[in-house]
């Protein structure tokens, strides 16, 4: 067995995992310098690995493994800004400089957070910071994983900054589009009044249209103000079962033709603002019910699943309606984006905003079936 070749392959594979994680995070955060760097390193590593598989490598008695031997070459992994750890049989080791700095160790992490080893847990609170844990099982190994810890708060801050820039851009665009016909109508009315014998019926029509345009613009700006003036949540211990009971009663009254299925186990009260969470959950339920009712299936159905874990609470809402088109999947949370003739496009955007101020998140988990997922941490950490 060529141990040296195996070590090189394992080291390169682990480095490629790190580059992939960094590239994915950088893409979503808009940090293009890190993204370009990660992709460049990944390409170089792939070429190196491809070249090395074609070269004869002399067999030596050494048996190095980057997941077990702390003296293995770390230079490739140290370039990654994301903390990376090797996980095996309850033992965790720091793989790169970022991980060694985070856990204050040169090698083995003692004590290692139990959440690192649980595949069902994808979030971790460590040293007062909230991390998302991404794991990759090493090919050809039993029980060995490489985990990457991604700073959720940094992700959220970057996402919020991008969302704010996008919102300002969209606001300016929509305001200009709304003001252009108002200005044009006002000029038409002024020209009409300068005539010796103005057509009063035409003038009345211009004024009516002008009023409708101004009213629409007022509703538009009022919607943005509602998003911007969301009050901070009043956090108290709330019974999730009670919230769902209230939501079920509302749902039955508004959507008698849509079946609501709630799957939840008994769990603890959760720290949240009951009114805001009720508003956010109702917006998602409304969206799901409309999709299910309009699909034309034999049984319109919405399913809510509630799962309690030590670190977080998840509430998923799934409907059996038509799938969201892939090109619309990234737009569903944008303010005023809607495919409904009578929709405002504010429901899902406001629901996500409420989740964010609770230290959680709302995401579109799958398109088929359409599933939205709320996640709320056990200890809300809001800026």
User: Which tokens belong to 314?
Assistant: 């998840």
User: Which tokens belong to 41?
Assistant: 């390193």
Q: Lowest-pLDDT range, 91-100, 161-170, 369-378?
A: 161-170
**What pLDDT digit, counting tens, does each position of 253-263 carry?**
888 889 999 99
**What pLDDT digit, counting tens, does each position of 351-364 carry?**
888 898 898 999 98
Buried b (16+ CB within 10 A) or exposed e, 135-154: bbebeeeeebbbbbbbbbee
Mean pLDDT of the chain: 75
108 three-class SS = strand
All structural domains of the chain, each given as residue ranges with its CATH number in brackets, are 3-151 (no CATH), 157-228 (1.20.120), 236-377 (3.30.565.10)
271 three-class SS = strand
User: Which tokens belong to 220?
Assistant: 């538009």
Closest C-alpha to 90, from 144, 139, 136, 10: 144
Q: What is the pLDDT of residue 334?
A: 74
305: β partners? 263, 316
302: β partners? 260, 319
**What pLDDT digit, counting tens, does each position of 217-240 carry?**
776 666 666 666 677 888 999 999
145 three-class SS = strand
Closest C-alpha to 108, from 129, 125, 85, 127: 85
pLDDT class of 82 with cuts at 50, 70, 90: confident
**What pLDDT digit, counting tens, does each position of 288-328 carry?**
998 888 876 678 899 999 999 888 899 999 999 888 777 77
DSSP state of 300: -
**What's the rounded Cα separation, in Å, for the pair 288 and 256?**
14
Q: What is the pLDDT of residue 158?
A: 72
User: Which tokens belong to 136?
Assistant: 């990759």
Beta pairing class for 259-264 and 301-308: parallel
**What pLDDT digit, counting tens, does each position of 196-218 carry?**
888 888 888 888 888 877 777 77
**What's the rounded Cα separation, in Å, for the pair 125 and 128?**
6
**What's the rounded Cα separation, in Å, for the pair 24 and 13?**
16
**What's the rounded Cα separation, in Å, for the pair 151 and 381?**
13
Q: What is the pLDDT of residue 156?
A: 67
**What's the rounded Cα separation, in Å, for the pair 272 and 278?**
10
DSSP letters of 160-185?
A: HHHHHHHHHHHHHHHHHHHHHHHHHH
User: Which tokens belong to 342?
Assistant: 């009578």
pTM (predicted TM-score): 0.47
Instruction: Kindly give the residue spans of alpha helices, DSSP state H, lying in the chain.
Output: 3-29, 32-52, 75-78, 97-103, 152-193, 200-228, 240-254, 274-293, 347-357
């Amino acid at each position: 067995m060529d141990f040296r070749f195996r070590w090189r392959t394992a080291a390169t594979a682990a480095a490629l995992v790190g580059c992939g994680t960094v590239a994915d995070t950088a893409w979503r955060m808009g940090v293009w310098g890190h993204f370009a760097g990660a992709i460049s390193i990944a390409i170089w590593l792939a070429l190196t690995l491809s070249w090395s598989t074609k070269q004869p490598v002399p067999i030596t008695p050494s048996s190095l493994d980057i997941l077990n031997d702390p003296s293995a070459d770390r230079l490739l992994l140290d370039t990654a800004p994301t903390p990376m750890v090797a996980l095996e049989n309850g033992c965790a080791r720091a793989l790169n400089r970022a991980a060694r700095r985070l856990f204050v160790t040169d090698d083995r992490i003692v004590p290692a957070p139990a959440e690192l080893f649980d595949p069902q847990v994808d979030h971790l609170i460590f040293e007062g910071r909230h991390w998302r844990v991404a794991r990759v099982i090493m090919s050809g190994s039993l029980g060995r994983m490489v985990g990457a810890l991604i700073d959720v708060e940094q992700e959220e801050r970057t996402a919020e900054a991008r969302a704010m820039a996008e919102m300002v851009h969209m606001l300016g665009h929509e305001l200009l589009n709304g003001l252009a016909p108002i200005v044009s109508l006002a000029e038409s009315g002024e020209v009409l009044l300068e005539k010796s014998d103005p057509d009063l019926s035409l003038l009345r029509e211009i004024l009516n249209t002008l009023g409708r345009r101004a009213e629409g613009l007022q509703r538009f700006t009022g919607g943005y103000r509602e998003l911007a003036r969301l009050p901070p949540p009043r956090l108290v211990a709330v019974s999730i079962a009670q919230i769902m009971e209230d939501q079920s009663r509302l749902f039955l009254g508004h959507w008698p033709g849509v079946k609501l299925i709630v799957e939840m186990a008994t769990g603890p009260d959760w720290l949240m603002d009951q009114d805001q969470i009720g508003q956010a959950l109702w917006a998602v339920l409304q969206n799901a019910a409309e999709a299910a009712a309009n699909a034309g299936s034999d049984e319109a159905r919405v399913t809510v699943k509630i799962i309690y874990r030590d670190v977080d609470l998840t509430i998923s809402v799934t409907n059996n309606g038509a799938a969201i088109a892939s090109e619309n999947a990234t737009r569903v949370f944008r303010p005023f984006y809607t495919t409904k003739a009578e929709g405002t496009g504010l429901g899902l955007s406001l629901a996500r905003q409420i989740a964010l101020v609770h230290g959680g998140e709302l995401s579109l988990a799958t398109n088929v079936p359409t599933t939205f997922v709320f996640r709320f941490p056990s200890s809300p950490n809001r800026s």
